[in-house]
Amino acid sequence: MNNQDRIAQILKAVSENPELPGADESLFDGGYLDSFALPEVVGALEKEFGIKIPDSDLNPRKLETINKIEQYVDSHK
């Protein structure tokens, strides 16, 4: 399973919605995730990829889309 698939699994589990937005679409603007889902997503990403995301990196814009999340994870592994 590639990283984007692993990220997709996390997002589907947190949102409880199997219908993901496109990889470049905002996860929030369309209501797929609400603001309180973001901490849960971050926690799941840290656990799944064995990374530690510092508070200073928690700019919601960095985690706005699936592609941006993948870029972040790839750059911090």
Partner 1 sequence: MRRVGSRRRGARFQRAASALLPTPRCSGNGVDLLVASIAGFGSYLPARVVTSADLAAQLDCTPEWILEVSGIEERRYAAPDEDVVAMGVAAARNCLDRAQCPAADIRLLIVSSASSPQRFPGPAAAIAAQLGLGEIPAIDIPVASAGSLFGLALASHLAASSGPVLVVATEKMSGAISLQPDQRNTAILFGDGAGACLVREGAGLLRIADRELGSDGTFAPDLRLPLAGPVEMNGRSVIMQATRKMPRAILAVLERSGVPPGDVQAFLMHQANQNLMDRVAKSVGAPADRFYSNIRRYGNTSSASMLIAAAEWWSGAALHPGAPVCFAAFGAGFHWGAILAITE
Both structure tokens of 36: 């309180």
Question: Which of 1, 21, 9 has its CA nearest to residue 45?
Answer: 9
* Cα diameter, the chain: 30
50 binds partner 1 (CB under 8 A): no
Nearer to partner 1, 23 or 42 (CB): 42
Binding flags for partner 1, 9-48, as an x/- string (CB under 8 A)? -------------------x-----xxx-xx--x------
For 73, half-sphere exposure in the C-beta direction (CA atoms, 13 angstrom radius) is 24
Q: Which residues bind partner 1 (CB under 8 A)?
A: 28, 34-36, 38-39, 42, 55-56, 58-60
